[in-house]
């Protein structure tokens, strides 16, 4: 699903905190669009808000690439820790978005 949503991220390696957007969310992960280059296998904590619901989780960077103009980075994140109730909410949200 290619919608853009704001997200707050915290690198667990460098303790760097930043705000960016994510897109292409699934029940297993999401794609970040960021100014910050994150290393493959780096762990991050993030907080996202979808339809007024705040969801906190952890993830691991699986891949990254530069955007076409080289100014931004596109980063693939796999969820590594998410509460079951938040996982159910995400799954339901994704199904509802796909149905529209």
- Measured distance CA(70)–CA(38) in Å, rounded: 14
Q: Is the pLDDT of residue 1 over 60?
A: no
Question: pTM value?
Answer: 0.85
Q: Taking 70 as the threshold, does the pLDDT of residue 73 lie above it?
A: yes
d(CA 99, CA 85): 21
Burial class (CB in 10 A: 0-12, 13-18, 19+), 40: exposed
> pLDDT digits over 14-62, tens only?
898 999 988 888 889 999 998 888 899 999 999 998 888 999 999 999 9
Please tell me the total count of domains within the chain: 1
pLDDT the model gives residue 99: 82
* Residue numbers of the domain that contains 84: 5-99
CATH of the domain at 27: 2.40.10.220
| For residue 100, pLDDT beyond 80 | no
């Amino acid at each position: 699903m290619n919608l853009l949503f704001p997200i707050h991220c915290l690198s667990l390696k460098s303790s760097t905190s930043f705000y960016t957007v994510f897109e292409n969310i699934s029940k297993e992960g999401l794609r970040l669009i960021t100014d910050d280059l994150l290393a493959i296998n780096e762990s991050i904590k993030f907080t996202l808000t979808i339809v007024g619901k705040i969801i906190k989780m952890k993830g691991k960077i699986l891949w990254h690439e530069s955007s076409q103009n080289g100014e931004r980075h596109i980063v693939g994140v796999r969820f590594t820790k998410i509460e079951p109730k938040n996982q159910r909410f995400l799954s339901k949200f994704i199904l509802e978005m796909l149905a529209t």
